[in-house]
Every structure is written in structure tokens, then in C-alpha cells.
Amino acid sequence: MAGSGRLKAAVYVKDPATHEDLVLLPGESPPPEIAALVTNPDAWESPPCDDVEPEPIAVGEPDPTGGTAEPEREQGEAAGAGKKTPSRRTRVPSA
């Protein structure tokens, strides 16, 4: 992937022509000669699969990739088996 696409992380490289330190920011698409200096593949955004854009999700619709909002509880926990009872203190009679 090095050499094309957009960066997803900030990268520091040295320009081979001017020997200047360059800071490439996330979202930038550097020219091919500079992009070739970025050797870490994790610095690049993943290419879209077959150039197909993801299907937009309408506002108010549940996210089809998301799970349930709350994890399901086990039967014992739902019945109150997981709760602690408050400790009881006995009063010492005063003399």
C-alpha cells in the first residue's frame, strides 16, 4: 500500500531532495515520491473493498453491524443471586 492512498496516522519522514524533516498528517495523500518513504503499512488507511462505498445508514435506523445495547444477564444474576446483602451490625448495650 505504500505509495498511494491516505494516511491514518501522523508520520515523520526526511525529504530525500531537501533533507528536511516532514510531518505527514492523518488524512493526507502525499505525492508518490514522499509516500514511498512511509514503510509502515499500519500508517495507511485500508483500501475500500472493490471500490464499493459503504451503504449509508439512515438516521433513526439501528446500526446493522452493532450488537445489543445491553449484554444479556445470566439467569442467576437476573434473579438477584449476584447481589450482596447489607451487613448487619449488632448494637452493644451501654452500661
For 11-41, write each residue's pLDDT tens digit.
999 998 899 999 999 999 999 999 999 999 9
Using pLDDT thresholds of 50, 70 and 90, give the confidence band for residue 59: confident
| Other CB atoms within 10 A of residue 8 CB | 13
User: Distance between CA 81 and CA 75 in Å, rounded?
Assistant: 9
Using pLDDT thresholds of 50, 70 and 90, give the confidence band for residue 1: very low
Tell me the average pLDDT across 45-74. 64
User: Distance between CA 35 and CA 7 in Å, rounded?
Assistant: 9
| Other CB atoms within 10 A of residue 49 CB | 8
Residues 6+ apart with CB under 8 A from 54: 48
What backbone torsions phi and psi does residue 11 show, to the nearest 5 degrees?
A: -135, 140
pLDDT at position 87: 67
